Structure formats: structure tokens, C-alpha cells
């Protein structure tokens, strides 16, 4: 019986090559998209799942007075970045904790071995317990002792190969920042791509204790991440229950509190700020899941539409089989077998498409996919099972519909498709184009938002701003004014400033007391920039009250502070001018506020402008030199600056980047999302158009004699094209109306992640509608014109 089914199915596929090609192509693209989206979601959900002890791993999040007065802190008030004393205190007070590991914010250091030297970023000061807690594989060295001694460094495989090629470097010395010799105590495998940790090397925390021992006792110094490994058969709830007593014993600040967060939730489910690495977006996962479902629905709808539309062609076959005694159930199974055969063929093609598709998805997403375990025999079983299920779902209605024909009516030639089947086809066309229009509109909204971010006025100059990275080099810091003057002397340079950080970079919080309107000192934790006299004018940051730092005032470097409007509001001053002259106390420095700058977007536009203090920075706190340059001959200016730098700072390589590029890098995840969204949206629309092409071709064939008669009676080609197209265009217009509220709701959810965002107006849907109508008309018109140009003698000669 199966052999018989297969022969009939194969003959039908070959007999109707065009329709078979459309069905197989649509299903194959749909399945390939589903597999690729599944792989992307699998990768996103796999972050930090590689740790063997992941079920017992937690991290501590902390609040430093971020909540509203009298209110409990919300999840967004917490930050992962915290203080050093917390870790040892937790270890001592909670017997449920097996290990505590802490590490600091990433550092960038100059590594040198002989003549080889380069600036290496993402180096972490890490506790010696790291390899007991996290599942990082050591290639050389002992993981138990690698991070115990001061001046020990563990390199990742990639960094080790740059310095030592393939030799074992354990025991070798590295010169770091032209100051200290570090001993390489280990080489580890590179951190997996699906990890929040993105470091290139680990330095023993005992090294930092040699540099700054005092910070390990300060509850107010924030630069540490704290992770916990619970003992087996213990629960985090027991720590939660004792948290209040713990805080009373160790910290008198009533605004300070902590929470515990499961490490495997960190990438997708955490709302805390100051993350140690990249984070994902759960809404994006939901959106791509919906797109995968939409794609398969549209592919299945195409199959159902074409199968029911072709009912006339197979009506006599069904009638003859029924007269010969074939049961309706057998006919149903025959048609279902044909459907499953098509979907299995599509599944095979889909798997062929997936491998190059992965390379494309990696490029569009900017991520290295962790898919090694994805392609296994079990995966092929799943795909085959999925294909069979799709074949059953897509073929069940056409099979039932075809097997239900009445043989007498069919064989007499009186059979016509019922109004019910025609109505169903129309509903399905409306449904698939509703999804297509929603995706087109969504794509327009995504790119309009990205363009808005690119063109939004930030409140400071970011173009033609060159940033020189010297990462706290002592000699550059000691001679910072000399270095600045040498750079400023070049003809292509407009102005020069120095600072601890530049817009778009990581900023610390600083506990700051400022005199409130009532006269009392109010202590909060705004962000802090450490800058020099030239920073504000170089960046063209506007003052709204008071004045900038000036060399004319001797006290400005020690007893003055500039804040932004948001900071003035934070301390109770709705009028910025009222904050000028008020007292402050910050990090051991006391004085008065001399100016208030206009709020500027020094961080991503995902975030509102936060309270900021711009503190005069002493040379030993500076890391960056900002150079505003002319745009007429940038390569020549860079060459001159390189020569000047080699003269004034020969110990430090000339490292630079442009501020607009580094600032816009904050939106790389959004740009990659836009590329992925557009890619899958285009494929969805292509699949929908394939179905529309097949359906319009069939309808044109069914009306070939009508077209011939109309041409004989004088109808024009354009009139016939319009006749054949108008029914489909009506359906597309109905789909536009349905798609508007659906898309508006979904994209407003996506836009909520931006503090600065566009509003969704009717123009978006007008554009999407015009595009969709144009695509639909072009798809239908090709077959309509082809049918209209046929000689009427050929179509009427059998009458």
C-alpha cells in the first residue's frame, strides 16, 4: 500500500512541477528559518549553562540608596557592582556558603615580553577560588594555586599565543604597564562565547591587595562583583531569611541592601544594572519565537491554499477511485502521505540550507553560535518528526476536503469548489498577509528607531573627537599638561582635554553630600566624571548656571565642583541656578558647587540622563586624552599625532579610537537585532508571496476561457490584469487594517527598552501597506499579464 501511495505521490509531484516547487521551496525556507531561529534562541538561553555547579551558583546584587524615599527597592534599583567587604562577611556568617569568589571591573594593561608588547583589555583581578566555582578549563598550570600569589596572571589561550606562540609559558615573566613583573601561572581555554564573562586574563586578587589594601575594608567603595557557591542540599531561601540581621551587623547605612540572583538567570532575566558582561533581551526571544511560528503558519497556509485550490484537477481522480470502491479514509491517508512526502523533502532541503544559514546568522547577530551539540543524530530525528507533524497539520484539511467529493457530481462534470473552501482560502490569505504587513511595519519601526538614536542630539560634540588611551600610565599622568600642549601644537588639532573616562564608558558612583534647599547635607550616590579644566569647553557642553573650572581660580582644583541638571534635581533644586554656591563633600574633598551643565547623554539612549558630578581630576586619576581635530585631512593629522606621541610617551603605544564609533557601539545589539528581524521578515514575506504566486497562477488557469471571451469582446490587457488582481488586493487591504493594532502593541513593547524613542504614527502603516500592496500586485500581475496576453483562439478552441 505504501509503495502504491508513493508511486501516485511521485507522479503527482512530477505532473505539477510548478506547484510542487512552490510548496517544497516555501516549506524548506520556512523549516530552515525555524531551525535557525531555534538555534539562535538555544544559544541565547545557553548563557552560563556550561558551569558544572550552575544550580548552586548565585551572585549578590546591591542597592546603595537607589530607591525612592520610604519605598522598597525595585529590581531595577539593584546593581551587580558592589563592595569588597561583602564577600568575606557572607562567607563568615552563612554556613550554607561553600565558596565565595569576587572579581573587579575589567582593566586594560600593557603586556610586554621582550620586543612584543600590546595593550590588552578585559583583564580581571580575581579571587583564587575562581576555578573551584566556575568551570573554566586550564591548559597549563594548577588551577588550585594559579591565583594565590601576588603578581600572578593566568592568560587565555588566545592571549598566550600572541605572546608565547604554542609553548608552555608557566613560570615566564611579563612586564605589565612598564612597572611590574608578573609571573604567568596558568593558561586556560578561551571563555565560551555563550558566557557573561568576556575576560582575556585573570590576575590574582592578592596583587590588588598589594596595590590598594585599604579598599578591601571599605563598604562604601564600589568596584567588586560577588558570586556564591552554595553547599549541596542548601537553599538560597535560608540566606534570604537571615539577610536583615546580616545587614544590621555589618552596615549601618539603612539605604544599603542586598539580594541574591541565580547565575543562570543573569543573562536574560536580570534587571540589575552594572552587569559584568553582555545581557540578552527576553522580549527579543519572544519576538523571534513568534516569527518562527508565523513563518511555519504561512508555509502551511500556502500548502493548504494550493491543495484546496487544485481540487478541480483531482476531483475526477477522487470520483473514479470512489466508484472503484476506495474508502474515504484510504483516500485521506493517500493525500496525507503526499503531504508528508513533500514536507520530508522540504526538511532535507532545509537541513542543507541551515549550515550556510548559521554563518549568515552569526554575521547578522554579531555572535559566535554555540551549536556544536546541536547537530546530532537526535536533531535529525527531531527535524524529521517536526516535518511529519507539519505534513499532517498542513495536509489534514486538504485531505479531508478532497476525500469528501461526491463521485456522481464529479464524474458528471457538475462539481465546483464550495463557497466554504473559497472563503477559507480568503481567510488564510488575509491571515498570512496580516503577519507579513505587521513584520514590514515592525522592520520600518526598528530602523526608524535606530536612525533616531544615530541622529539624536547628545548634548556634546562626538564627531571628529579622537580619544587617546593611555590607561593610567604613570609617566603620561605626571606630564599630562606637557603631553597636552605637544598634541595641541599640531596644526590639525582644535583643542585637547584629559579625563578619567569619556562618554559611553563605564562610570563609578560616588557617595556625595550636597547641601539641600533646607540647609542640611543630603548624601546620595550620583555618577562621577573626573575631568580637567579643558573638558567641558572641548566637548562643547553647555552651562545653564554658574561657570566652568578655570585656571584663574586657585581653589577650583581642590574646592569646587560642577554638576548636571539631573544632579541638581536629585538634591532638590528645580532651578539649577539655586544649586550654585551650595556646599559639597565628596571622597574627602569639600567645597562649593560653581556650575551646572545642561543634561547631556553621556550614556546609552536606552537610559535617561542620570545625576552626574563633574569633579576636577588630579593627574594620577586620568586615563584618556580627548583631541578635537579638524576633518579636512584626518590621516595626516593622525600621522603627526603618532610622531608627537612617540616623542612625549615612547613607553606607551599610540592607541586611539574615535568617540562617535565607540559611543555608537552601545547600540550594536540593537543594530544586530534589526538585521535579524529584517532578514526573517523578508523571508516571511517571500514565503507569503510564493503562496500568492501559486494561487494567482492557478486562478488564472481556471479563468483562461473567461479571459479569452473577454478579449474577444474587446477587453484590454490592463482591464484583465485588474480583474484578476482586485480580489487579492482587497484581501491585502483587509490584512492592513487587522495588522495595525497587532504591530502597534508588539513594537510599543520593544520600544519600552529605550528612554528616548520614536512614537508610532499612521505613516509607518501607510508605508508598510504601500510596500505590501506593491509586492502583492507585482506577484499577481506577472501571472495576470501572462494570462491576458495569451491568444484567445488557443483558450477557446476546445469550446
Cell numbers linked to 25: 521551496
pTM of the model: 0.85
Per-residue pLDDT at 783: 66
For residue range 311-351, list pLDDT tens digits in order.
555 655 666 665 556 666 666 777 777 778 888 888 889 98
Given a contact cutoff of 8 angstroms between Cβ atoms, the answer to whether 601 and 458 are in contact is yes
Q: What are phi and psi of 248, to 5 degrees?
A: -65, -35
Per-residue pLDDT at 795: 59
Angstrom distance (rounded) from CA 631 to CA 494: 10
Per-residue pLDDT at 315: 58
For residue range 254-290, list pLDDT tens digits in order.
678 999 999 999 999 999 988 999 999 999 999 999 9
Q: What are phi and psi of 110, to 5 degrees?
A: -85, 115
Task: Return the DSSP state at 374.
Answer: T
H-helix or E-strand containing 64?
A: strand 57-64
Task: Assess whether pLDDT exceeds 70 at residue 787.
Answer: no
Name the band, by pLDDT with cuts 50, 70 and 90, for residue 372. low
Mean pLDDT, rounded, of the chain: 86
Per-residue pLDDT at 370: 63
Mean pLDDT of 532-541: 97
Per-residue pLDDT at 728: 77
467 or 373, greater pLDDT: 467
Task: Return the DSSP state at 117.
Answer: E
Per-residue pLDDT at 503: 96
Task: Assess whether pLDDT exceeds 90 at residue 488.
Answer: yes
Mean pLDDT of 110-133: 93
**What is the CB neighbour count within 10 angstroms for residue 150?**
16
User: CA angle at residue 606 from 605 to 609, to 5 degrees?
Assistant: 60
Angstrom distance (rounded) from CA 267 to CA 724: 52
Cell numbers linked to 732: 491585502
The b/e string for 652-670 (b: 16+ C-beta within 10 A; e otherwise) is beeeeebbbebbbebbebb
Amino acid at each position: 500500500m505504501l509503495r502504491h501511495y508513493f508511486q501516485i505521490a511521485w507522479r503527482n509531484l512530477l505532473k505539477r512541477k510548478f506547484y510542487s516547487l512552490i510548496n517544497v521551496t516555501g516549506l524548506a525556507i520556512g523549516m530552515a528559518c525555524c531551525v535557525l531561529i531555534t538555534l539562535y534562541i538555544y544559544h541565547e538561553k545557553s548563557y552560563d549553562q556550561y558551569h558544572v555547579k550552575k544550580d548552586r551558583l548565585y551572585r549578590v546584587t546591591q542597592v546603595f540608596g537607589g530607591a525612592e524615599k520610604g519605598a522598597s527597592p525595585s529590581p531595577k534599583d539593584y546593581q551587580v557592582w558592589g563592595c569588597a567587604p561583602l564577600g568575606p562577611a557572607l562567607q563568615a556568617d552563612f554556613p550554607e556558603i561553600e565558596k565565595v569568589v569576587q572579581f573587579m571591573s575589567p582593566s586594560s594593561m600593557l603586556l610586554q615580553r621582550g620586543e612584543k608588547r600590546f595593550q590588552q583589555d578585559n583583564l580581571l583581578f580575581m579571587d583564587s577560588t575562581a576555578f573551584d566555582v566556575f568551570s573554566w578549563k586550564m591548559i597549563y598550570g594548577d588551577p588550585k594555586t594559579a591565583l594565590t600569589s601576588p603578581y600572578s596572571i593566568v592568560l587565555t589561550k588566545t592571549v598566550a599565543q600572541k605572546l608565547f606562540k604554542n609553548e608552555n609559558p608557566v613560570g615566564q615573566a611579563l612586564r605589565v604597564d612598564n612597572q611590574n613583573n608578573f609571573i604567568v601561572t596558568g593558561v586556560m581555554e578561551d571563555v565560551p562565547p555563550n558566557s557573561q564573562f568576556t575576560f582575556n586574563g585573570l590576575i590574582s586578587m592578592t596583587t590588588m591587595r598589594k596595590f590598594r589594601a585599604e579598599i578591601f575594608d571599605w563598604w562604601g567603595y564600589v568596584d567588586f562583583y560577588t558570586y556564591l557557591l552554595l553547599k549541596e542540599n542548601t537553599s538560597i531561601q535560608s540566606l534570604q531569611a537571615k539577610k536583615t540581621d546580616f545587614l544590621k551587623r555589618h552596615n549601618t547605612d539603612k539605604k544599603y541592601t542586598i539580594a541574591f540572583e541565580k547565575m543562570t538567570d543573569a543573562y536574560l532575566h536580570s534587571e540589575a544594572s552594572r552587569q559584568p558582561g553582555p545581557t540578552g533581551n527576553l522580549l527579543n526571544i519572544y519576538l523571534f519565537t513568534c516569527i518562527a511560528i508565523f513563518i511555519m503558519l504561512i508555509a502551511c497556509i500556502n500548502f493548504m491554499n494550493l491543495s484546496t485550490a487544485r481540487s478541480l484537477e483531482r476531483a475526477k481522480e477522487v470520483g473514479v477511485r470512489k466508484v472503484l470502491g476506495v474508502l474515504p479514509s484510504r483516500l485521506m491517508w493517500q493525500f496525507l502521505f503526499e503531504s508528508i512526502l513533500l514536507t520530508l523533502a522540504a526538511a532535507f532541503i532545509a537541513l542543507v540550507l541551515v549550515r550556510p544559514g548559521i554563518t549568515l546568522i552569526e554575521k547578522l547577530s554579531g555572535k559566535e553560535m554555540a551549536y556544536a551539540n546541536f547537530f546530532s543524530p537526535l536533531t535529525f530525528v527531531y527535524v524529521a518528526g517536526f516535518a511529519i507533524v507539519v505534513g499532517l497539520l498542513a495536509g489534514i484539511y486538504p485531505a479531508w476536503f478532497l476525500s469528501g467529493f461526491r463521485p456522481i457530481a464529479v464524474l458528471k462534470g457538475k462539481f465546483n469548489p464550495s463557497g466554504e473552501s473559497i472563503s477559507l482560502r480568503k481567510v488564510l490569505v488575509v491571515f498570512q498577509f496580516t503577519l507579513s504587513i505587521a513584520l514590514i511595519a515592525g522592520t520600518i519601526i526598528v530602523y526608524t528607531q535606530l536612525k533616531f538614536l544615530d541622529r539624536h542630539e547628545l548634548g556634546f560634540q562626538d564627531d571628529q573627537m579622537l580619544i587617546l588611551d593611555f590607561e593610567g600610565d604613570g609617566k603620561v599622568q605626571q606630564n599630562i599638561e606637557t603631553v597636552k600642549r605637544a598634541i595641541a601644537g599640531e596644526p590639525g588639532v582644535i583643542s585637547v582635554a584629559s579625563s578619567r573616562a569619556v562618554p559611553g564608558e563605564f562610570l563609578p558612583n560616588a557617595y556625595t553630600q550636597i547641601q539641600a534647599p533646607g540647609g542640611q547635607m543630603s548624601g546620595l550616590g550620583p555618577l562621577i566624571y573626573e575631568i580637567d579644566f579643558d573638558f567641558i569647553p572641548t566637548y562643547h557642553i553647555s552651562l545653564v548656571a554658574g561657570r566652568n573650572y578655570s585656571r584663574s581660580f586657585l581653589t577650583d582644583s581642590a574646592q569646587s565642583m560642577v554638576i548636571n541638571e539631573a544632579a541638581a534635581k536629585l538634591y532638590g533644586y528645580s532651578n539649577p541656578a539655586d544649586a550654585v554656591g551650595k556646599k559639597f563633600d565628596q571622597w574627602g574633598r569639600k567645597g562649593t558647587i560653581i556650575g551646572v551643565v545642561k543634561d547631556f547623554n553621556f550614556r546609552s539612549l536606552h537610559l535617561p540622563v542620570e545625576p552626574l558630578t563633574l569633579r576636577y581630576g588630579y593627574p594620577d586619576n586620568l586615563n584618556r586624552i580627548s583631541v578635537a581635530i579638524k576633518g579636512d585631512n584626518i590621516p595626516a593629522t593622525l600621522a603627526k599625532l603618532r610622531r608627537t606621541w612617540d616623542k612625549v610617551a615612547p613607553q606607551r603605544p599610540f592607541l586611539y579610537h574615535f568617540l562617535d564609533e565607540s559611543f555608537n557601539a552601545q547600540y550594536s545589539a540593537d543594530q544586530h537585532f534589526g538585521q535579524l528581524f529584517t532578514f526573517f521578515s523578508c523571508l516571511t514575506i517571500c514565503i507569503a508571496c510564493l503562496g500568492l504566486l501559486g494561487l494567482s497562477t492557478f486562478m488564472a488557469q481556471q479563468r483562461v476561457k473567461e479571459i479569452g471571451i473577454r478579449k474577444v469582446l474587446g477587453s484590454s490587457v490592463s482591464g484583465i490584469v485588474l480583474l484578476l488582481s482586485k480580489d487579492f488586493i482587497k484581501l491585502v487591504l483587509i490584512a492592513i487594517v487587522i495588522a495595525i493594532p497587532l504591530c502597534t502593541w508588539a513594537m510599543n513593547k520593544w520600544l519600552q527598552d529605550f528612554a528616548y524613542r520614536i512614537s508610532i504614527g499612521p505613516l509607518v502603516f501607510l508605508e508598510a501597506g504601500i510596500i505590501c500592496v506593491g509586492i502583492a500586485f507585482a506577484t499577481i500581475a506577472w501571472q495576470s499579464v501572462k494570462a491576458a496576453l495569451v491568444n484567445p483562439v488557443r483558450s477557446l478552441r476546445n469550446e
